[in-house]
Structure 1
Amino acid sequence: MQSELDSLRLRVKDLESENARLSSLLSNCKCSKECRNVDTGIGSAEEIQGLKLHTDDKMNQKVKGFSNKIRSMHQYSKRYVALKVMYFGQRFFGFASEGQMDPTIESEIFRALEKTRLIDGTKKDLQYSRCGRTDKGVSSVGQVISLFLRSKLNDADTGSGCPQEFQMKELYEGELDYVRILNKELPKDIRVMGWCPVPVDFSSRFSCLSREYKYFFWRENLNIKAMENAGKKFIGEHDFRNFCKMDAANVHSFKRCITEFKIFPCAERFDEDQLWVVKIKGTAFLWHQVRCIVAVLFLIGKGLESPDLIEILLDTEKIPKKPQYVMAPEIPLVLQSCNFEALKFVCSSGSRKALLDHLEMECKSYKIQSAIFHEAFLSCSLSENDEILLEDKPKKPPSHIPLMLRPTEPSYEERCVKLNSQLKVKKKNPLS
């Protein structure tokens, strides 16, 4: 009996020694770092005897097979890619996700990127950049972002990223269908429209040559000719500090160049009214610049201000302080396009069809909602069977105060003085 016990003890020691050796092999395996939750120990002597470990070679084969199943993101090839994105901004708190408000378009895009395992790392690691930072409620059909994405191709097959190579079919063939992958995970009011390989020194913000905005409005009784004549005065390089929301902490030059201004009708009508659009194209725009421009144009179109007001407000030496006025609403504003040199966005035929089908379905859905509201509008109209409505006392329309007689906002210089004094207070009291 004693000899059998001694034999069993020796057997257990041998198995424990083998277990330690195999654990050491597994800890040195690449997959072990990715699978820390895997139990590399082996339990009781009975469990050890049931494993049937035959040879070192067989164990190595098992480890190799395991590492093939779990593959870390850093093991994949990556490529720097620009994505063309559209979104309907009504329910979002703007594009950027840097604030505390949620949802934003950017946060939804990154949720989809993470869920599909197309990215690994921070925005800085990914060299992430965006072309435009649209505000709450603003939509886009041509926003562009750029970042490193997981690639199906080897690094040698993704090209050097020179602009001349962008049109080469080889740079796209065999790659992951980024449009299809992301659109499956994005909410219905955000869609990727195409992608394009770009060089690593590309920036969606600083490589952009021009941006184009459209602002939709109902004509009603607006004087389109007066608005058009006034709008043409924006063309060229001007100081637009009186046509923006000033951010003195981050922006120190308010000169911007407008290259194109147009006003034209759309096909959409409502009874006798027609939908029109203001189109503004420029190299770059200030915060709320388009909405401020449109707000002043509306005052001119209503006959409340003269078209000469544009020249007056653009003369910042005479008018260094912006008169107080309300910006145009955000919902009708659309970032139409961001234009770059030599970029051609691609999309597979299947993904393009799925995108068109989705947009068609959304259009039809909104048409139905519009029809329902129109029915409600018609049902409120008086007919012979309707009761007589009680008349309210007539209200006086609000009197218009000319812009040049209104209170003004602080000038850029005054804002800088205030910011500097706040910084001095913070330096003296860093905990306050």
Structure 2
Amino acid sequence: MANVRLKKMKKNESSREDLEICSKQELIDKVLKLEAHVAQLKCVLGKNGREESQSATSKHKRPFDFTKCSQRHVFLKLLYLGWDYRGLACQEDSQRTVEHHLFAALAKTCLVRSRETSSYHRCGRTDKGVSAFCQVVSLDVRSCLSAAELESSPATVRGELPYARMLNRVLPKDIRVLAWCPVPAGASARFDCKLRTYKYFFPRGNLDIQAMNTAAQCVVGTHDFRNLCKMDVANGVVTFTRRVLSAQVHVRHSDSLHSSSKSGSGYDLCELTLVGQAFLWHQVRCIMGILLLVGEGKEQPEIIKQLLDVENYPRKPQYCLASDFPLNLFHCEFEHSDWCVDSQNIAEVITTLQSVWTNLSVRATMVRAMLTECEAMTEDGPIASQSSSLLQGVKAKVYQPLLQRQTCDSLESRINHYVKKQKLEIVEENSENKTSEVRTAT
């Protein structure tokens, strides 16, 4: 068979004379065929190389014996810059998630046997591009203390493994573990969180910050936010009442080049701060999207009250989300707050973040210098469009007020749609009061 293959390959070889008489299209076809063949060979060689390295590693490395170790339930406090990730939660079709790297680090340090056996919970599920300054997860991890020591003193931390330092050695630089906290076995980072704080950073541009802050106050309290979120009915979320404890829009940093200006500079950095018990999918970005319209003078601050009036406005008007990258989960508050902070680990985290800050600040200063030179060349006065890029989507030439736009499907029609597709089912709870509950179909 080897001889037959060689003969066939020789028969397909082309001499220089053969190529010179080929047409352009025939040469293109040959090149494309060769490139496809090379790509296929690279895949085969790469797969074989990975299999060989994995088999070699498995031969020399014995699996860790977790039966010889005790376990304890802990909170881990994480910080990550989500700009280059597709979100926090693991995804089947991508490794570019924070949880993928977190569990790869947990496995590499032999702190968990598997995600399925670790009693894992997360405080908040951040989406693609969103960062967290204080994400908290709960899980069972390996302990170097004996089961008797943990049973007699569950909160003891002396002599325990340096969890933060262990994980930070193998995590990417933009994902850091800040601290850990011993908690009771049933504690959950998701269900035991008392308060969550989100912040959204943005430049002043031409925005009316006072009008935005007036509008933001309208979200404070308990409201139905179906018009200020993305309704996740397919996953059984049919209740959109949430409580916002505080909301504020203010200038965080004034532009040093125009600090004497009474009206402020378009390069001032501002922030929206929202504090609540729980938030809906895209709730903060929807609120920020409306606030940007208010700041631009396209909507009045009262638009927030109107959108929260679901009796008169039961359908969400179509509008654009605010961009993802300025949003971060800033703080999570728990009753269990005895965080174990390793001073050496924090010093390393600070050094890492300072490196990121230096890189980004130098670039921002360079761009700011370019803007200063360009603005000096204009004769039409200052241009304040710094915040215009934060609203996603295509902008219409003629602005159409929100309440005059086309609307999305109502909550009831969405529920009926998924009930017909047998993804949801309506379960009667009390026939006398005619109350019912919507559940995901099993």
Q: TM-score, normalised by structure 2?
A: 0.73
Q: Paired residue for 2:170?
A: 185
Q: Paired residue for 1:301?
A: 295
Question: Which string of whole-angstrom CA distances, capped at 9 and with x for unpartnered residues, describes residues 277-300 of structure 1?
Answer: 000000000000000001111111
Q: Paired residue for 2:406?
A: 407
Q: Paired residue for 2:70?
A: 77
Cα distance between partner residues in 1 of 2:396 and 2:64: 68
Deviation at 1:365, TM superposition (A): 2.0
| From 106, 117, 130, the counterpart of 1:125 | 117
Structure 2 residue runs without a partner (length 5+): 1-57, 258-264, 379-394, 425-442
Q: Paired residue for 2:188?
A: 203
Residues 178 and 341 of structure 2 are in contact (CA less than 8 Å); yes or no, is this contact kept in structure 1?
Answer: yes
Q: Paired residue for 2:98?
A: 105
Q: Paired residue for 2:308?
A: 314
Q: Paired residue for 1:286?
A: 280
Residue 397 of structure 2 corresponds to residue 398 of structure 1: yes
Deviation at 1:102, TM superposition (A): 3.0
RMSD: 2.4
Cα distance between partner residues in 2 of 1:37 and 1:101: 28
Residue 344 of structure 2 corresponds to residue 359 of structure 1: no
| From 207, 227, 247, the counterpart of 1:242 | 227
Residue 167 of structure 2 corresponds to residue 173 of structure 1: no
Deviation at 1:150, TM superposition (A): 0.8
Q: Paired residue for 1:50?
A: none
Deviation at 1:101, TM superposition (A): 2.9
Question: Which string of whole-angstrom CA distances, capped at 9 and with x for unpartnered residues, describes residues 53-112 of structure 1?
Answer: xxxxxxxxxxxxxxxx98512211111111000100110000000342330011011111
Residues 84 and 143 of structure 1 are in contact (CA less than 8 Å); yes or no, is this contact kept in structure 2?
Answer: yes
Partner amino acid for 1:196? Answer: C
Cα distance between partner residues in 2 of 1:257 and 1:366: 36
Cα distance between partner residues in 2 of 1:424 and 1:263: 40
For residues 270 and 420 of structure 1, do their structure 2 counterparts lie closer, same or farther at Cα, with a shift above 3 Å needed? farther
Structure 1 residue runs without a partner (length 5+): 1-35, 39-68, 385-395, 426-432
Q: Paired residue for 1:90?
A: 83
Partner amino acid for 1:115? Answer: K
Cα distance between partner residues in 2 of 1:269 and 1:117: 48
| From 231, 248, 257, the counterpart of 1:262 | 248
Cα distance between partner residues in 2 of 1:244 and 1:412: 12
Question: Which string of whole-angstrom CA distances, capped at 9 and with x for unpartnered residues, describes residues 364-388 of structure 1?
Answer: 122222233334445656769xxxx
Deviation at 1:310, TM superposition (A): 1.1
Residues 160 and 199 of structure 1 are in contact (CA less than 8 Å); yes or no, is this contact kept in structure 2?
Answer: no
Question: Which string of whole-angstrom CA distances, capped at 9 and with x for unpartnered residues, describes residues 257-310 of structure 1?
Answer: 000111222226375320000000000000000000011111111111111111
Deviation at 1:423, TM superposition (A): 2.1
Cα distance between partner residues in 2 of 1:241 and 1:80: 36
For residues 355 and 143 of structure 1, do their structure 2 counterparts lie closer, same or farther at Cα, with a shift above 3 Å needed? same
| From 332, 337, 340, the counterpart of 1:346 | 340
Structure with larger Rg? 1
Residue 298 of structure 2 corresponds to residue 334 of structure 1: no
Residues 181 and 336 of structure 2 are in contact (CA less than 8 Å); yes or no, is this contact kept in structure 1?
Answer: no
Cα distance between partner residues in 2 of 1:89 and 1:329: 13
Residues 215 and 334 of structure 1 are in contact (CA less than 8 Å); yes or no, is this contact kept in structure 2?
Answer: yes
For residues 70 and 130 of structure 1, do their structure 2 counterparts lie closer, same or farther at Cα, with a shift above 3 Å needed? closer
Q: Paired residue for 1:152?
A: 144
For residues 270 and 94 of structure 1, do their structure 2 counterparts lie closer, same or farther at Cα, with a shift above 3 Å needed? farther
Q: Paired residue for 1:419?
A: 418
Cα distance between partner residues in 2 of 1:299 and 1:79: 49
Aligned residue pairs: how many? 341
- Using the TM superposition, name which of 182-191 and 303-312 deviates more: 303-312
For residues 306 and 383 of structure 1, do their structure 2 counterparts lie closer, same or farther at Cα, with a shift above 3 Å needed? closer
Partner amino acid for 1:89? Answer: G
Q: Paired residue for 1:228?
A: 213
Residues 266 and 275 of structure 1 are in contact (CA less than 8 Å); yes or no, is this contact kept in structure 2?
Answer: yes
| From 102, 110, 131, the counterpart of 1:139 | 131
